[in-house]
Amino acid sequence: MLRIVRGKKIENGGLDLRELASGYSSVIVDLGTGDGRFVYKMAREQPRNLFIGIDAAAENMMEYSSRAVKKPPKGGASNAVYISAGAEDLPAEMSGLADKIYVILPWGSLLEGIVKGSGEILGGIAGAARPGAALELFFTYSHLHEEGEIGRRELPALSLEYIENTMTLLYREKGILLGEKEIITNEELRRYETHWARKLGFGKNRTVFHVKGIIEGL
């Protein structure tokens, strides 16, 4: 069941995503959107594209969803849609819809799935994408700041070598080809306008990995 966050309410169904998407040039998905700030800002800047923010925690998206449903002169963005769902259990309506998928500074099970190449998470990403869709990942953690989470989830040590030698192979098995892999600066991270991107971007320097890929599908 499609669960749409519209303002302060959660609506079950009632929206034909495919019909809505047909009126836009591209469909861009932010998976694990958190408060949805990134989706809202991008939707305001790019009115010809449809932006979909997806997060399991519906209440976190309500502030920016409330802004989006206003009339455009008052800050609204009718091309911003918020969906409550887990990355491993995306609604069927998302199948083959996305031209581009972002995962920006994920946490919890989504972070674990991204860095360990979980079949459920990668399968969800691949299933939501059109063949040839772009993928951008941003992730970071360190023993200095996230010791508990690393131990609890048995997260691997991050490095460009790990991404190249381990993640690339796991992603390829799900039809996702990882290409450019880099470490970005705090200044570059701030450009993405999520809550955590801004928070980390203005804090102490972190090793943030940025990975681009193409989703070919199986």
Instruction: Assign 189 a pLDDT band (cuts: 50, 70, 90).
Output: confident
> How many angstroms separate the first and last alpha carbons of the chain?
25
Task: Tell which wins on pLDDT, 196 or 93.
Answer: 93
Cα gap 86→52, rounded to integer Å: 14
Hey, what domains does the chain have and what are their CATH numbers? 1-18+27-94 (3.40.50.150), 98-218 (3.40.50.150)
* Contact criterion met (CB below 8 Å) for 189 and 197: yes
Arithmetic mean of pLDDT, 44-71: 96
Tokens of 28: 């861009």
Confidence of residue 193 (pLDDT cuts 50, 70, 90): low
DSSP structure string for 119-174? HHHHHHHHHHEEEEEEEEEEE---TTT-HHHHHHHTPPPP-HHHIIIIIHHHHHHT
| Alpha helices in the chain, H assignment, sequence order | 17-21, 37-45, 62-68, 108-116, 119-128, 147-153, 160-162, 168-173, 186-190, 195-201
**Mean pLDDT value across residues 75-87:** 96
143-162 mean pLDDT: 89
Task: Please report the pLDDT score of residue 187 as a whole number.
Answer: 74
- Of the chain, the percentage scoring pLDDT greater than 70 comes to 94
Mean pLDDT of 18-37: 96
Please give the residue that has the higher pLDDT: either 72 or 79: 79
pLDDT higher than 60, residue 202: no
